[in-house]
Structure 1
Amino acid sequence: MTIDPRSPFGLLLTAICIIAFAYLILPILVVVVAPLGDTGYLAFPPKGFTLRWYAAALDDTRYLSGFLTSLQIGGAVALLSTIIGVLAAYGLSRYDFPGRSLIEALFLSPLILPTLVLAVSLSLFFTRTGLLTGTGRLVLAHIIVCTPYVIRVTLPVLRRFDRTLEEAAQNLGASPIQSFFLILLPVIKTGIIAGCVMAFITSFDEVVLALFLASPGEPTLPVIIYSAVQLGFEPTVAAVSGLLVILTCVFMVLYQILGVARQD
């Protein structure tokens, strides 16, 4: 059923969409625009115009070091969480065994567990066992949190997958491993990519676990921003957030351009 956008109901839906987008986008726009003012404090609309706060954010080695650390941790967590999550989702979707529902609930339990509780528990666990030190503790903690996102995204895709495609490939001589990599993965790759991106974003933005488990010598960017806010919300901190927003927008535009070029 199509809705005429000029009808009263269509106009109402259009107004609701505009309000929803404004509610989501305007706060982000404030973060990007506010550091452009030449005052020593944040104000919106900004008073005057200057790029010195953005320049100060780029010149501050703390933020660059934290960004690179978060990027490395997020990349490692996204890769490992995707591998673990896809394999777990594959087993949960393909095999019927006793306790499958319980195991699935256990895999997804970190989604409902408060992050602070998990951070305290893991901090005590690593302190008593000495299992990992430094950044490795944070990577493992982020894997625990991010893997459920991958499972939650890929599990429905795997359950909707037509298994007759694999059976046809195996009837034509493909081994189960070949059919997995040549038939299954290409079909569900959109779900895998979505889960991987969600895992990376969750790891990159996570602050509570990083506060408890990150190495003091290699803090992540959210920890550095959090510490800077505790001392006073300077325009430089907002400029760092604005740079992250701009970088995200650049990646989104490039993704859309590549998608259009691929369709052509």
Structure 2
Amino acid sequence: MVKAVPSWLRLASVVFVALTALILLAPLIVVVGVSVSESQFIAFPPNGLSLRWYQQVLSSNAYLGAAWISIQIAVMVTVLATVIGGAAAIAIHRRQLPFSDLLATVFLSPLVLPTIIYAIGMLMFWSAAFGPVSPITLALSHTVIALPYVVRTTLAVLAESNPYLEEAARTMGANRMQRLWFVVVPQCIPGLAAGAFFAFNISFDEAVLSLFLRGPTLTTLPVQIYGQLEFSPDPSVAAVSTIMIALTIVLIFVIDRMLGLTKFASA
């Protein structure tokens, strides 16, 4: 017979969960609080409430230009990483390619490679082979570090998929491409959606690669925020950060409406 959980253990669990939530949410609360401050300097708690910093950000050509570049690159990365990572995950799951285990390791290896080392290597390689960096350089670099997330989430979904559905489709006369498009891909959608979500956020928030691979006209939003903090910090950086947090929440809401968070989380 299972014994009742002691009261002190339940209390300790509640305290632990509360402290964990506080540690996770406290930085976000501080950022949002600073973004509505009337002060000219970064300070918390805010001295008065004002939306002037949001107005400044939304009317700043530097911030808007950097945000537009980040969105363009993030969209390219999302498409590339989802297509390449999804195809790789399907091939690895079916084990139809030689050295499938080695291939899986290669696709997941960027997770353990320090980003700064990869950034330096990519800068040296691209400069020697192709010349000046461009948005394509940044998109390809971001795709490499986003691929593991798409591969991992898609493999997780495929591991729970029903292998007999494809067999049934083949029995009904579907050819290989029809089975792939109408049976396998639909089963991968939760994993692909989760991977695409991670790919977009990783690319949009990536600062190290963007800092090394920047150019005179190639400044992403994280690099713009970093430069603002370095030379003339003010609450506008908190306003930009709050907008980025809101963008993430909106993406989660869209995924919830399209797929449901249960399917998304299961990936």
Please report the TM-score for the alignment, with normalisation by the length of structure 1. Answer: 0.89
Aligned equivalents of 1:163, 1:87: Cα separation in 2:
17
Conserved 8 A contact 1:81-1:150: yes
Q: 2:99 corresponds to which residue?
A: 99
Aligned equivalents of 2:5, 2:182: Cα separation in 1:
44
Q: 2:16 corresponds to which residue?
A: 16
* Unaligned residue ranges in structure 2 (runs of 5+): 261-267
* RMSD of aligned alpha carbons: 2.4
Conserved 8 A contact 1:5-1:14: no
By how many angstroms is 1:4 displaced?
8.6
Conserved 8 A contact 1:107-1:148: yes
Structure 1 runs (4+) deviating above 4 angstroms are 2-8, 253-260
Aligned equivalents of 2:46, 2:131: Cα separation in 1:
50
- CA spacing shift, 1:4–1:201, aligned 2, 3 Å: farther
Aligned equivalents of 2:78, 2:43: Cα separation in 1:
37
After the TM superposition, which residues 29-40 of structure 1 pair with which residues of structure 2 at under 5 Å, given as runs? Answer: 29-40=29-40
After the TM superposition, which residues 1-264 of structure 1 pair with which residues of structure 2 at under 5 Å, given as runs? Answer: 8-95=8-95, 98-130=98-130, 133-253=133-253, 255-256=255-256
Deviation track 1:33-77 (CA, whole Å, cap 9, x = no partner) reads 113222211211111122211211111111111111111100110
Conserved 8 A contact 2:91-2:97: no
Aligned equivalents of 1:191, 1:4: Cα separation in 2:
39
Conserved 8 A contact 1:66-1:221: yes
Bigger Cα displacement from structure 2, 207-216 vs 131-140: 131-140
Aligned equivalents of 1:254, 1:86: Cα separation in 2:
21
Deviation track 1:109-151 (CA, whole Å, cap 9, x = no partner) reads 1111111111111111111111774111111111111111111
- CA spacing shift, 1:3–1:199, aligned 2, 3 Å: farther
* Unaligned residue ranges in structure 1 (runs of 5+): none
Aligned equivalents of 1:160, 1:101: Cα separation in 2:
19
Partner secondary structure for residue 188 of structure 1: helix
Aligned residues: 259
Partner secondary structure for residue 74 of structure 2: helix
Conserved 8 A contact 1:70-1:204: yes
Aligned equivalents of 1:235, 1:77: Cα separation in 2:
30
Aligned equivalents of 2:212, 2:83: Cα separation in 1:
26
- CA spacing shift, 1:117–1:259, aligned 2, 3 Å: closer
By how many angstroms is 1:215 displaced?
3.3
